[in-house]
Amino acid sequence: MSKQNLFIGSLAYATTDDTLKAFFEQIGPVESARVITDRDSGRSKGFGFVEYVNEDDNQKAVDQLDGKDLDGRTINVGLARAKEDRPRREFSGNNDRGGNGGGSFRQRSW
C-alpha cells in the first residue's frame, strides 16, 4: 500500500520542488515534494504534493503549516485524497455539435 501524501494548495507560481521540500522539512524528513506543472507551458498549476518519510508527520504538518505563508502566499495543507477510478473519457470526432463531424464546411446537396 502506498503512503499517504499531503495536498498543498494555493502555491505561488515561484514555488519550486526544492523550496516546497525545504519548507516542509521543518516538521520532519521529507521523502518527496512535487509542484504540479502544466504539461505544455511548464508553469506551476498552483498546487503540489508532499510525502514524509514518517507518516506521523502528516498530521503535524496539517496542524502547524496550514494557513502559513510560503513565497508570499497563504497555503492550504491537507491530506490528499486517493485517486479514484474514473471512467475513461471518450474523444470522438462528433461530440453532438451539429452532426457534421465538428467541421465548419457543409457540403451542398444539389
24-42 confidence digits (pLDDT tens): 999 999 999 999 999 999 9
Beta strands in 5-101 (DSSP E): 6-9, 30-37, 44-52, 69-70, 73-74, 76-79
Give 92's contacts (C-beta < 8 A, 6+ positions apart): none
- CA proximity to 29, closest of 48, 7, 49, 51: 51
pLDDT of residue 18: 98
pLDDT of residue 39: 94
Q: Which domain holds residue 70?
A: 6-79
Whether the CB-CB separation of 89 and 64 falls below 8 Å is answered with no
Domain count within the chain: 1
pLDDT band of residue 4 (cuts 50, 70, 90) is confident
55-68 confidence digits (pLDDT tens): 999 999 999 999 99
Q: Is 48 inside a domain boundary? A: yes
CATH at 66: 3.30.70.330
Q: Is 53 inside a domain boundary? A: yes
Q: What is the mean pLDDT of the chain?
A: 87
Distance between CA atoms of residues 104 and 13, nearest Å: 38
What pTM was computed for the model? 0.74
Q: Is 85 inside a domain boundary? A: no
